[in-house]
Amino acid sequence: MARRGRGAGVARRACAGATRECDSVERARPLARAMCSAEWSESESPSPERAERSQRSVVGVMCHAVVLGVLFSLPSYLYSAVPFRKARRKEREGEPAGDPKLYLQEALLERKLPELDMRQLVDLPLGLDYNEWLASHTLALFDHVNLLYGTVSEFCTATSCPDMTGPGGRTYAWYDERGKKSRVAAPQYVDYVMTFTQKTVNDETVFPTKYANEFPAQFEGVVRRVVRLLFHVVAHMYAAHFRQLALLRLHAHLHLTFAHLTALDRRFALLDHKETEVLRDLEVALRLSEPAAGEAADEASPRRREPVVTQPLATA
Binding site residues for Zn(2+), as ranges? 156, 161, 236, 241
Residue at 247: amino acid letter: L
Rounded-to-integer distance, Cα 258 and Cα 256, Å: 5
Whether the CB-CB separation of 283 and 307 falls below 8 Å is answered with no
Specify the DSSP element, H or E, that contains 164: strand 164-165
The answer to whether the CB of 65 falls within 8 A of the CB of 23 is no
Rounded CA-CA distance 63/25 in Å is: 8
Distance of CA 234 to the CA centre of its chain: 9
Sequence ranges of the binding site: 156, 161, 236, 241
SS3 for 306?
coil
DSSP 3-state of 165: strand
The closest alpha carbon to 82, from 246, 235, 229, belongs to 246
Distance between CA atoms of residues 23 and 283, nearest Å: 47
Cα(259)–Cα(137) distance, integer angstroms: 13
Q: Report the distance separating Cα 5 and Cα 36, nearest Å.
A: 11
Could you give the CA distance from residue 88 to residue 90 in angstroms, rounded to a whole number? 6
User: d(Cα 282, Cα 103) in Å, to the nearest integer?
Assistant: 8
